[in-house]
Structure 1
Amino acid sequence: MVITTQGAVVVTGASTGIGKACALQLDKLGFQVFAGVRNPADAEMLKSQASHRLTPIWLDITDAVSIAAAVETVNKAVGDLGLWGLVNNAGIAVVSPLECLAIAELRQQMEVNVIAQIAVTQAFLPLLRRSQGRIVNIGSIIGKMAMPFLGSNSAAKFAMEAFTDVLRMELQPWGISVSIIEPSYVATPIWERAVTTTNKTVKDLPPEAKDLYGTATAAACESVIKSGKNGISADMVAQSVVNALTTKRPKTRYLVGKEAKFVDLMIKFLPDRIRDRVIIGQTAKGT
């Protein structure tokens, strides 16, 4: 059974990639979409591609004032009907060996990809409770199986898995569904931005760190670039988000893409050290 009465949905990080695809697909289905953006150009771009129902909202998920303002805007628009869905999508990516990762960058990764997700969810929960709405978190296969040189990303996505599980249990008394989407690599600009930042970081490393990790980091960057270019489409991920928001009994987890399903099998059946060798071998080849 599919829900036919379309309500209001907030999508964070809707400027590009998965967030943009989610916002546009939900708009086409008749939802009242509030698309979180951080600059006027992205707002205008979304409005040009969507119906009058889509409303861009300024939303910096790391800024409490911005979050409060977004909640107020949505509250005024939806009133007693409340909010049907919250899609926690916004995030950043960092590529670096953990030994060389600047603690400031690690803190930023956790702030954006974990703490801010919780802050946004806390803020919108009263509106979700009004309609027994749904929360959909965007995870990743690297939140199920850690990857070398993506340690901070993996840690953040593993945290999102726990956040999703705990929230699902805690909100069960109010009938609020919580799901997580677990895609393989997605062809979005996030990976290109991550590699650009990494190249600068590697350039600034002291000589001893370059000797230790220079070659391996370059291979990891090449692997990330290839995975991003050959990744699944953002629209494919958005379709799973739509399913989580519209089916009568949403799944707790949605694996998206053949690679994600293969990783899931590896986790279930391969011993840790064998799995390590497979992953290290693939990363070293830059594939």
Structure 2
Amino acid sequence: MPAPSSAAPRTVLVTGASTGIGAACARTLAARGWRVFAGVRKLADGEALAAGSEGRIIPLQLDVTNRDQIQSVVREISAQCGEAGLQGVVNNAGIALAGPLEFMPLDAFQRQFDVNVLGLVAVTQAVLPLIRKSRGRVVLMGSNSGFMCEPFLAGYGATKHAVEAIADSLRIELRPWGIEVALIEPGAIKTPIWSKSREAAEQLFVGMPPECEKLYAAPISALRKMVEKIPSSAIPPERVAGAVAHALESRRPRTRYPVGLDSIAGSLLVRIIPDRWLDWIIRKVMGL
């Protein structure tokens, strides 16, 4: 991976930069000499992120479901970058909600698509004129759930399957301008998304009918135990940030970056093992 340059800093927009992978990406890229526009929902989080970055991290209030905020952020970036354009965008913002698909409220299902898919597309569309100026890079945050979805994560997995399709199509569409598109596919990462997902799932279960608990009591219990164990075996978000840096800086970036042994193993398993066998493995691993 190339070392940081002493030339004029390259600029990148990172969405969902308040915590976890997004914050790690912002800090890693800033340390490598990038000027990072960090999209955060709360400016207080952005100020904490920017502290100690010597001005390389510039927090901007950005809810990817808010079209007015997206346009405001693009105007600000355009004013600061001018004709140099934007060298990269890292579409990281995302949420995950768990629960049996049979009983998951449709508004919870839709909320995940609003953030993980439509928000990603809206941001990408808005910044592409700036990316085209510099022949920059588009980085999309997928997941191992995008190619091998676990039970009770159908909504989240569906959004990440959609991101896989977007990456494949966009990569070819933007090729005439020399714009590279890379898809990051993390496995289990030590981020607040797990605690947030657990809390959100608990709220979902409260609103679900009694038959949900009756029908799914055992697997839901197994799922909760699995989620509790994930942080102990998950890898740090800086590993994902390293893959993002490679996607932005490498002369020949990869089209896909599975990150973590679970993601690497999963990408191999789906190619060589029949679905029924894979279902059995997943049930055993999850205690179902």
TM-score bracket, shorter-length normalisation: over 0.9
1:2 maps to 2
**How many angstroms apart in 1 are the aligned matches of 2:86 and 2:34?**
11
Question: Residue 47 of structure 1: CA displacement?
Answer: 1.6
Q: Aligned-pair distance for 1:250? A: 0.4
CA RMSD in angstroms comes to 1.3
- Which residue does 1:264 correspond to in 2? 267
- The structural deviation recorded for 1:205 is 2.2
Contact 1:24–1:49 (CA<8 Å) still a contact in 2?
no
1:284 & 1:247 partners in 2: Cα distance?
41
Find the aligned partners of 1:237 and 1:66 in 2 and give their Cα distance.
27
Give the equivalent residue in structure 2 for 1:138. Answer: 141
Using the TM superposition, give the Cα deviation of residue 144 of structure 1 relative to its aligned residue in structure 2, in angstroms: 1.1
Aligned twin of 2:255: 252
One-letter amino acid of the structure 1 residue matched with residue 229 of structure 2: K
Provide runs of 4+ in structure 1 moved above 6 Å: none
Q: Does 1:234 align with 2:232?
A: no
* Residues 221-268 of structure 1: per-residue CA shift (max 9 Å, x gap): 221232234211100000000000111010000111111111112111
Counterparts of 1:67 and 1:228, CA distance in 2: 32
**1:197 alignment counterpart:** 200
Moved more, 222-231 or 178-187: 222-231
**What are the equivalent positions in structure 2 for 1:116-155 lying under 5 Å apart?**
116-155=119-158
The residue identity in structure 2 corresponding to 1:278 is I
| Matches of 1:125 and 1:74, distance apart in 2 | 12
The answer to whether the Cα contact below 8 Å between 1:202 and 1:214 also exists between their aligned partners in 2 is no
Report whether the alignment pairs 1:111 with 2:117: no
Select which of 217, 220, 225 maps to 2:223. Answer: 220
Aligned counterparts of 1:89 and 1:13: Cα–Cα separation in 2 = 6
CA contact (8 A) 1:94 1:109 kept: yes
Paired with 2:256 and 2:121, the residues of 1 have a C-alpha distance of: 18
Give the letter for the 1:277 counterpart.
Answer: W
Equivalent residue in structure 1 for 2:62, among 38, 59, 62: 59
Distance 1:278 1:15 in 2: 35
1:162 aligned partner, one-letter code = A
Q: Which amino acid aligns with 1:85?
A: G
Q: What's the TM-score, normalizing by structure 1?
A: 0.96
Unaligned runs of 5+ residues in structure 1 are: none
Contact 1:15 1:42 in 2 (8 A): yes
Q: Pick the aligned partner of 2:75 from 69, 72, 75.
A: 72
5+ long unaligned stretches in structure 2: none
Q: Is the 8 A contact 1:11 1:19 kept in 2?
A: yes
Which of 31, 45, 48 matches 1:45? 48
CA distance in 1, matches of 2:107, 2:62: 22
Paired residues in the alignment total 285
Per-residue displacement from partner, 1:34-82 (whole Å, max 9, x unpaired)?
Answer: 0001112202101213221211011110000000000000000000000
- CA–CA distance in structure 1, aligned partners of residues 285 and 123 of structure 2: 36
Are 1:27 and 1:51, in contact at CA under 8 Å, matched by a contact in 2? Answer: no
How much does 1:203 deviate? Answer: 2.8
> Does the CA-based 8 Å contact 2:43-2:60 persist in structure 1?
no
Q: Contact (CA 8 Å) 1:15, 1:36: kept in 2 or not?
A: yes
Q: Which amino acid aligns with 1:259?
A: D
TM-score between both structures, scaled by the size of structure 2: 0.96
SS in 2 for 1:100: coil
* Separation of aligned partners in 1, 2:41 and 2:211: 39
- SS of 1:10's equivalent? strand
